């Protein structure tokens, strides 16, 4: 995998799988490596982006890098959800100001580009479902969670000994 260096184990063990896309735009170096490949403006761009991200997902699998796989899955999921938002809301804005429930914008029903964003969302959804059900991903996820739990226990012991 060119232009990507896996971070040290101590950094990897701080990764949280979380819900949905949580942490996708903050966890480095994966964010900077994957973000340039994440696009959904047109059907053609969404297809190329989701194919590229799927290949990154498989490359991370070959490296046995669960964090890379999960971050890629999150970018793919974000492609699905963001394009769906642009399909539902002209300009992609869901709220008038901030995220207060009372300020939600009504979904639009026929704005220009709606169908294209719907299709982009379906493209990403298909790849996202492949990621979620990938046997290697599921196995590495369990392995990562076990390893992380052991690492955190060891870190707690080190902290106790230092105190």
The rounded Cα 91 to chain-centroid distance in angstroms is: 22
Q: What is the pLDDT of residue 1?
A: 45
Confirm whether 4 is domain-assigned: no
More confident residue, 84 or 22: 84
Burial class (CB in 10 A: 0-12, 13-18, 19+), 28: exposed
Q: Residue 135 belongs to what domain range?
A: 9-94+105-162
Q: What is the pLDDT of residue 69?
A: 97
Confirm whether 3 is domain-assigned: no
For residue 110, name the pLDDT band (cuts at 50, 70, 90).
confident
> Residue 15: pLDDT above 90?
yes
Confirm whether 74 is domain-assigned: yes
Average pLDDT over residues 62-69: 97
């Amino acid at each position: 995998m060119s232009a990507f260096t896996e971070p040290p184990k101590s950094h990897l063990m701080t990764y949280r799988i979380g819900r949905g896309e949580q942490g996708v735009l903050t966890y480095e170096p994966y964010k900077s490596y994957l973000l340039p490949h994440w696009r959904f403006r047109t059907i053609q761009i969404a297809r190329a982006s989701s194919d590229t991200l799927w290949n990154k997902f498989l490359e991370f699998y070959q490296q046995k890098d669960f964090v890379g796989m999960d971050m890629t899955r999150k970018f793919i999921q974000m492609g699905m959800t963001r394009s769906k938002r642009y399909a539902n809301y002209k300009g992609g804005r869901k709220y008038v100001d901030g995220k207060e429930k009372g300020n939600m914008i009504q979904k639009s029903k026929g704005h220009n580009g709606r169908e294209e964003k719907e299709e982009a969302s379906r493209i990403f959804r298909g790849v996202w479902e492949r990621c979620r059900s990938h046997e290697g991903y599921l196995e590495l996820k369990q392995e990562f969670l076990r390893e992380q739990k052991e690492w955190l226990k060891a870190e707690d012991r080190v902290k106790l000994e230092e105190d």
